[in-house]
Structure 1
Amino acid sequence: MTVKKPSSGGTALSWMPIMVMTAVAGLDIVAGPGVGLLPLVSLGPAFAGLVGGWRRTALIGVVALVLCVGLGLYDGLFESRRGYTAMASVAGVTGAGIAAAVMRSRREAELANVQRIAEVAQRVLLRPVPLTAGPLQAAVSYTSAVAEARIGGDLYEVVASPHGVRVIVGDVQGKGLAAVETAAVVLGAFREAAHDEPALTGLGARVERSVARELEGEKFVTAILAEIGTDHEAVFLNYGHPAPMLVRRDGTADFPQPPSFALPLGLGVHGTDPPEPFRVGFAPGEQLLLYTDGVTEARDSDGRFYPLGERTHLLKDPDAHGALRALREDVVQHVAGPAHDDAAMLLLRYRGQGPA
């Protein structure tokens, strides 16, 4: 587990109460009692309530009260009501700061609980792909565009079935919990049908029917299904999804296109033809990258899309996970800012050297 060091901004905020009270004390001594700076000592517990826990806020409040009494005696303010008014101000702000700190701690605990639930949902919905499946080595990368989110609308799965290794990568229209729910429907249908359906077209039809039952209106899911056996070929069904990238042994990249384009999952009820399967040679020593449009549509500051086909050299790392990590970091560097869309990448390597 990596332990994060406190940021310089967080350190400055934690010292803010002490610095404020020190500054007020110094100005009060220099300016004298006529200026009326003593009530500003209450800024110490006020800042403490914003950034610290209730115990630290109470401690800062006690220090502020002691400082208020000391400055009041030094200025001779207790001969009138000014000293007592300043003490009441400090005590009141300290109480409010303690209440704010308690409420913030409760909200942070609730947020931590929600994040734990999200992590459990991630393990159920987007469970880790197997390191090896049949003749393939697999690695996956997922980046959510939503701050602090673990999961989103992109989906992936690898299933080693009796009919070959079957793979899906998809992108749900929309974001948020509704997209996560739709992704769960697609993955559930795929995982069940991948073992039962002998043909890839039958698998696609099962997933299409499940999605059509669940989705309403014009919602849809772009997806690509693949089947890799032992005959050095990959069979694809493309439901309006970006073409996969096939990296040959010499480092050149191909983006195999379907013979005819089909609508995404969920729109097949409009009576259009289903996608036609197409075969592509996939031999030992070659790599297959399936991804969502959050990768290829990532733009830099000048509006240029990410040139995926020019980044095949990043996949030369013997470790598939290391290669995919380098590619993901390059996408992040290209964007040079927060991602605008979820981005999923699934890398499949055909193990073995194959013919030169």
Structure 2
Amino acid sequence: MEGFIRALPKIELHLHIEGTLKPEMMLELAKRNQVSIPYQTIADVRAAYAFSDLSAFYALYSLGVSVLKTEQDFYDLTWAYIERCKEEHVLHTEISFDPQLHTRRGVAFGTVVNGISRALQEGCSTLEITSRLIMCFQRDLSQEEALETLQQAMPYKDSIIAVGLDSSEPGNPPDKFAQVFEKARQAGFLTVAHAGEDGPVDNIWHVLEQLQVARIDHGVRCSDDEKLVEHLVSKRIPLTVCPLSNVRLGVFSAMNEHNIADLLERGVCVTINSDDPAFFDGYMIDNFMAVANAFKLSKKDMANFSSNAIEASFLTSDEKAALRTRLQHYLDLNFRPII
């Protein structure tokens, strides 16, 4: 199974680029940009990455973001992730970024987008890894700030395919952002949103109805509402699930208690993703292996996660067909009858 998963063509749809900042790069960029951080060695940073709750994660995440200053920083961060995609047979990735984390501390919107986009373009031309870019609004900030961020994004519409909504759900209901999502749709952006992770199942209904999203990031609380699960199945509404992240942040106490295998069996368009892999001890292979080991799923089951991700992606029909062909070729090689 491990060999099968390592070479399996994969598609990642839920990845926060700021969450790929490894301890080594944090120290390197802090030194490059003369940013003071409370760590002197890689071992110190790694120890800090052993956080135990969501608040500690957010604090460390914010500290990491503080070392990102220049277009080259964002390029280097993104390029390191793209190289990891090549190693892990991730053929297509849809990367989220949080511009408000940067513009609020004086980094220009264009600096962020240009650095990320340059690495993505190079990844496509040199490594044949396709990508799309998703701009997320922080739900713990105001809709007014989100509207301002949407305006900042307008000159970069060719580089950004969708808008999203992330950060902590409690106290930040989806309807708080209904206006900005409507304006984003009118401007031609696709839409996604985090819901049903650290918030109730109702948040999933609300992002579907009030924000009219094309897919749900996380969405694991859907199992609390049978009618919702049936709706997700019948409408083929995708869930971009992040198994290791869910366990690390206490959404599930252990991987064998996760509902991802049950959702797959019931016909939900569920996918596997890494979320913030540098912080949650796992990129795509790690997440696939954790699920396979916890539930003793078959190779065909694991391949279904890739098939679902192709369907759920924001690629064109022709691009999806090309990925399906590559996936099917891989499966044909692995399931060829022995004569």
Give the TM-score, by structure 1 length. 0.28
RCO higher in structure (CA 8 A, sep ≥6): 2
User: Whose Rg is larger?
Assistant: 1
Higher helix share: 2
Give the TM-score, by structure 2 length. 0.29
